[in-house]
Chains A and B, each alone.
Chain A
Amino acid sequence: MNPSDTLKAVEIAGLSRRFGAKLALNQVSLQAARGRVFGLVGANGAGKTTLIKHLIGRLKAQSGSVRVFGFDPVADPVAVLSRIGYLSENRDLPAWMRVDELLRYTEAFYPGWDRAYAGQLREQFGLDPRAKIKTLSRGENAKAGLLIALAYRPELLLLDEPSSGLDPVVRRDILEAIIRTVADEGRTVFFSSHLLEEVDRVADDLAMIDNGRIVLAGALNEVKENHHRLVLRFDSPQSSAPKVAGILSLTGGGQEWTAICNGKLEEVVAAAARAGGRVVAEGSPSLDEIFVAWAGAKPV
């Protein structure tokens, strides 16, 4: 089988990476299916950028394996990089070039470059072709980086914290680009973000990374539907968080505590009853609450 026939755009299995004493990635496994938007969620320093650098072959797997469209990014960089449109976290565009020079320069690397599309994006993003890169604002810089990642219509759009530190208008442009990439062309998007609101809007699937470890992965809808928020009331004030099996996090104090849990609701309710708590309210937690609950949960 030709490696590019795989249905997975990204497949990572048992990837670990150590920088000195710090274990930056700890047995990471995840898969991103073609034609879908995959969101990698985590706090700053959780390991998102380290993981993404493995996808473009900038870091070699110390243990475990990394495949992009079935290819090893380190062994076969041309096969991988020709399929990826990449926007790095710090953009790193050549400061001395003008916008039009950047477009001509990048075009030379990619046979599939679509000049008309590049021109259309440049106008849509409001970028002056004669402006020097170093004079661009933060938002314009991000848009220029996004433009050159999109203009050769890559099979995989790979964005590392695309909207970090940008104003809402530019963030909207970036979200629109992600949506257009999957809607009109059926391509794959893999992006990292610490903004759960964005992930909630555009991701089909997500993985949550905390301290180099994937704590939760799955289809976004299922993740949201499988988690519950319960308010438990106890007959007497509890001086510390009551122990209830099946609960990820418990916050509050006195007689009322808020629990975030996943899995079988009846089992958690029964466990809470055994601990002396009854459910007084039930709801759906936001992605933020789910993430905080998992990031705080200890590995079992």
Chain B
Amino acid sequence: MQLHVSTGDGLPIYLQIANQVKYLVASGRLAPGDEIPPIRVLAHQLLVNPNTVARAYLELEREGVVQKRHGSGTYISDAGSPLARKERLKILSERIDALLAEARHLQVEPLELLRVIKERSQTIQPKENK
């Protein structure tokens, strides 16, 4: 599991970690049942406070993305991320805004952009649900 934290970012580091784990699950790079590193190990790897990693894991557990198993470790849940739809859309809208701005700059109309998104979606589809 390769994560990267950025300190120039205003987003608290625990949220950066939690969001990246969610992203890895959503993109299939972490599968249900996969173990994620112990808190201390990830803290050393990312060079961040272990309390911060603990907070990220707690957040992920609360949202049902991961599960703790007694005396062993922390694993990606079978249920996947039951993150509220509103929350998921909120994460996306920021990126969509940036994309729309870029498209406008490059003189690509929103409708054309939508067509490209559909095309790309079909291209990457087969890689899911391996």
The reply to whether chain A is a binding partner of chain B is yes
Sample of 19 more A-B contacts, CB < 8 Å, known A37-B49, A201-B7, A201-B47: A36-B51, A37-B51, A172-B47, A176-B44, A176-B47, A179-B48, A183-B39, A183-B43, A184-B40, A200-B7, A201-B49, A202-B47, A202-B48, A204-B49, A204-B52, A224-B12, A229-B10, A284-B9, A287-B7
Closest A-B pairs by Cβ, 5 of them: A284-B10, A183-B50, A200-B7, A197-B7, A221-B12
- The interface size of chain B toward A, counting residues with CB under 8 Å, comes to 20
Provide the bound-state CA to CA distance between A201 and B13, in Å.
8
A residues 169-204 near B (Cβ < 8 Å) are 172, 175-176, 179-180, 182-184, 196-197, 200-204
| Among A176, A221, A227, A285, residue most surrounded by chain B Cβ atoms (within 10 Å) | A221
Beta-carbon contact of A200 and B50 below 8 Å: no
30 pairs, CB–CB < 8 Å, chain A vs chain B: A36-B51, A37-B49, A172-B47, A175-B47, A176-B44, A179-B48, A179-B49, A182-B51, A183-B39, A183-B40, A183-B50, A184-B40, A197-B7, A201-B47, A201-B48, A202-B47, A202-B49, A203-B49, A204-B49, A204-B51, A220-B12, A221-B12, A221-B14, A224-B10, A229-B10, A283-B10, A284-B9, A285-B10, A286-B8, A288-B8
Provide the bound-state CA to CA distance between A272 and B13, in Å.
30
Beta-carbon contact of B9 and A286 below 8 Å: yes
The verdict on A179 contacting B10 (CB below 8 Å), with A184-B40, A201-B5 known, is: no
Closest to B41 in A: A183
| Among A180, A183, A286, A289, residue most surrounded by chain B Cβ atoms (within 10 Å) | A183
Q: Which residues of B contact A197 (CB under 8 A)?
A: 7-8
Q: Which residues of B contact A203 (CB under 8 A)?
A: 49
What's the minimum C-beta distance from A195 to chain B, rounded to whole angstroms? 10
Asked whether A267 is an interface residue with its Cβ less than 8 Å from the other chain, the reply is no
Asked whether A123 is an interface residue with its Cβ less than 8 Å from the other chain, the reply is no
Q: Which residues of A contact B11 (CB under 8 A)?
A: 224, 284
What's the minimum C-beta distance from A51 to chain B, rounded to whole angstroms? 22
Asked whether A225 is an interface residue with its Cβ less than 8 Å from the other chain, the reply is yes
B residues 3-51 near A (Cβ < 8 Å) are 5, 7-14, 39-40, 43-44, 47-51
Provide the bound-state CA to CA distance between A76 and B32, in Å.
56
Provide the bound-state CA to CA distance between A289 and B43, in Å.
25
What's the minimum C-beta distance from B57 to chain A, rounded to whole angstroms? 14
Provide the bound-state CA to CA distance between A284 and B52, in Å.
18
Provide the bound-state CA to CA distance between A225 and B12, in Å.
7
Provide the bound-state CA to CA distance between A289 and B7, in Å.
12
Q: Which residues of A contact B40 (CB under 8 A)?
A: 183-184
Provide the bound-state CA to CA distance between A36 and B51, in Å.
8
Query: What 1/0 mask marks residues of chain A from 262 to 300 whose CB sits below 8 Å from any chain B CB?
Result: 000000000000000000000111111100000000000
The verdict on A286 contacting B10 (CB below 8 Å), with A176-B44, A179-B49, A203-B49 known, is: yes
